[in-house]
Structure 1
Amino acid sequence: MKSVGRVSIVDTVINELRGEIARGTWQVGDRIPTESRLAEIFGVSRLSVREAVRVLVHAELLTTRQGNGTFVTATDEGRIALRRRLDRARTTDILDVRRGLDIVAARLAATMRTEEDLASLQEAMERRTAAGRAGDLDTFTDADVDFHLRIAEASHNPLLSDLYRNMSDALWETVKANQCIDEAGDDPFHTALYEAVRNGDPAAATAAALAILDDYAAEETEEGE
């Protein structure tokens, strides 16, 4: 960490704190140094540090716990903003966005997947099936989202993977709300997607990805009637 100048002191401290969080100096869950220590590190007043911390608490990068200190709660403000937007989005809108991402992810995965990717997909499929048969909705939902995230990762497109990962919370809520666990014992759609990726068939992978989303959309329509 370095001392900061006297111009735009609060903004500079905010930027320094953001930088330390982004660099991993403090991980999510870590308590940051006290106001006094930060003031000493940056060469500014405690009041400037306090105001900078207040701004980052409002941005949801930090949280203050009375009597315990200030802790890191997130590292990416862009992801926080996206999460807020997704929290307000309609399920149909989320499915529309998924449709675009899943088509690209499935097509690329069928072309770019490795043996390691296939093993990872199979493991997620097995967890999904086992959780469905056990009636464990939360574990089923975790495995379902993991499966689709691993499809995105199998595309070996880092930007696509990041976009999908940043939507994972909204995807989790969508899957759980649709209660698709009832079909877990005999789900031809996810099996078809896995087989298409394994066989290196982009057209079949795209069709299977669309079939999964059409099934979700049908479930959503039934629940809304």
Structure 2
Amino acid sequence: MVRPVQRNSLIAQVTTMLRHEITSGKWPVGTRIPTEPELTEMTGTGRNTIREAVQALVHAGLLERRQGSGTYVLSDSPVSGALATHLAAAADRDVLELRQALDVTAAALAARRRTPDDITTLRDLLQQRRDLAAQGNHEASVQADIALHRAIVAASHNALYVEFYDSLLPIISTTIHAHADAHPGEAPHYDPEHERLVQAIINGDPDQASREAQQFLTSLIDQLDG
């Protein structure tokens, strides 16, 4: 005798399917997932099932709903996702000070461990950041800025640093956007600071790289206090 599929079981199945799209990397951290109608078509289920499956992943810290924009991948790990959810309520200064502790050490490690591929990535992202800022494309330049700092952490070749930094990315992005909205047209691009930081890493100078990262983030904290 065939038993009908229980609704809760169906939600669990769809939740597992969506979680796999995230953890497999098909939906990378920071990207927007397909829309509700698209997910309905992909899974062959109803909208209510999709809503509850997505909500389960929001509670797990893997997804984040953004009003008027869509649903985005917050993390590909339940552990770092839960951490990201906790950090979402942190004060801007606390986030910057946490970044200061992480970015300074990561910059020094990157200067010691960067590979030719890392150098190419850093140069490309630095140029992309510079070009987008010059074009006045604020949203894209913010994303390029975040990608550059994440690439520096990745060049440290410390997997734990990268995972922890990824858990910070949503709140870092929120902090940058909030500051820009509060000071329209006033936020400096910090192009020289980023160029010196990247060049120190390329030169393999860990002391200079850590100093540049320290000075840059200290200036952000000072600006926040001002």
TM-score of the aligned structures, taking structure 1 as reference length: 0.69
Question: Do the aligned partners of 1:22 and 1:76 also contact (CA within 8 Å) in 2?
Answer: no
- Is residue 34 from structure 1 mapped to residue 66 from structure 2 by the alignment? no
Aligned length: 195
Q: Which residue number corresponds to residue 84 of structure 1?
A: 85
Q: Which residue number corresponds to residue 224 of structure 2?
A: 220
**Runs of 5+ consecutive residues of structure 2 not aligned to the other structure:** 1-7, 28-32, 65-70
Q: Which amino acid aligns with 2:203?
A: N
Match of 2:55 among 54, 57, 64: 57
Residues 1:209 and 1:105: Cα distance change in structure 2 (over 3 Å): same
- Is residue 195 from structure 1 mapped to residue 199 from structure 2 by the alignment? yes
TM-score of the aligned structures, taking structure 2 as reference length: 0.69
Question: Do the aligned partners of 1:102 and 1:209 also contact (CA within 8 Å) in 2?
Answer: yes
Q: Distance in 2 between matches of 1:181 and 1:154?
A: 31
RMSD value over aligned CA atoms? 3.8
Question: Do the aligned partners of 1:105 and 1:151 also contact (CA within 8 Å) in 2?
Answer: yes
Report the alpha carbon displacement of residue 194 of structure 1 after superposing the two structures with TM. Answer: 0.7
Runs of 4+ aligned residues of structure 1 deviating over 6 Å after TM superposition are 12-16
Q: Distance in 2 between matches of 1:62 and 1:212?
A: 31
Deviations 1:154-187 (A, max 9, x none): 1112221121122112112233315697543x63
**Runs of 5+ consecutive residues of structure 1 not aligned to the other structure:** 1-9, 36-49, 64-71
Higher relative contact order (CA 8 A, sep 6+): 2
Q: Which residue number corresponds to residue 145 of structure 1?
A: 146
Q: Which amino acid aligns with 2:207?
A: A
Q: Distance in 1 between matches of 2:219 and 2:121?
A: 24
- Is residue 172 from structure 1 mapped to residue 173 from structure 2 by the alignment? yes
Deviations 1:193-225 (A, max 9, x none): 111101111111111111110111111112xxx
